[in-house]
Chains A and B, each alone.
Chain A
């Protein structure tokens, strides 16, 4: 087909582009998590966010269509994983779950299987809704994804047959250490990188550059978008489940507007067009957020303590998003994958 030659050469595999982000994520996670239990928890949450940002990068970054709806896949993933791993005792006795649908009471999986199930659920939900959503373009698509988030939230928040409604579901099994979440994120990064490189990914980016021209070349925009939406739904479902397994509880509010804003901010700050952008955005936003949190609590960061009033963190994060967009609309990475510094490239060449 024509499409191959259209975007050929746009990206080709480079070891550094994949390897550097992997090393950055793995080494900083391992190094920081060993320093204190609160940092370990912070790293675990950051890995969940990174998974979610990767999911957004797959779809938003490649298609150029903004999605506010991925929070709903995370919600579904979290509910599946939460209900699968919460002990029977809790499901039968918690007030919030007194109306829970019987098959869900009996639904029981181990941690690993529950993660798989939530990824599957996220993917199926995305595939189903994507069948409708992918027909839309531009602002209509953005608003329709918002509507999807609204519907999912509205139902899960109010219906106590499918979950704890507006209460928290406690007792969800937790990751015993960093290994599983870290491995999952690293695997997801590899998959996302190769997806971005793949013909499907390149074709989707071609539709982003020029909708009409790519249609003229015979690209079925709806289908390539739908595939990417489904894949990103899998990752979002997984991200939601991981979040539940880190916190040990599921509450639908955790995946609503705040979550959507926070993860989209990470993607945009880093630069939505590349894997490196997703990683960079997550690291920078979470890092700044954690430092400010520690200063709000008057604890030292690398030996420096600044006493900040409570609430500074949220203002700075939102302000940072606005300022970075003013300064660099394509994000810190400016839309490209990481390049080896010049001196290293020379060494490699010689």
Chain B
């Protein structure tokens, strides 16, 4: 079943166009990775899908319902959440307060309590540091909190922008094992990741972006072929 359908999406800031005619669709339970050099519009794409940036044209459908142009607070309620780049946790609030904020975007309030318990199981930091100021957590803990906070909105699609940024290698391993548990639970994932070697092993499909376009789509096997990935990444004609 199609869960996310993006068709002819254009977006940008003011007069500057950043995304040009982006189209792709995702099925329930899939995980897509987006790679590409800095500044090609990867974050803009996620922000636009989540509603933080208004698209200029094109359509974004979540479970068949048009969500493009809606406010971010409404999009999160229809089941799509974003873990933004740099985590953006509220450093002045406690861990539990950060989590409670995620509950504002949750439609099913009756199960809020269970939801907190569920994410706490996945991310122990929530129980161990619940009263602590979120700003005092380590980078890895902050990332856990950021993902937990998005998960608690009960998303069907979870977007993650550079989740591994600034984390130590062993923490990144934990992160991806958590992500795979989220995936197993049936959540569809769309991940922007600079570290191509990490995401190619993880995702079902890789979208390579350049200059606001999807340059290439690679399946899991092709994506792990270094030459094919490089060719897609740097354009044809680049040989090792």
Whether the complex brings A and B within 8 Å at their CB atoms is answered no
Q: Give me the interface of B with A, judged by CB distance under 8 Å.
A: none
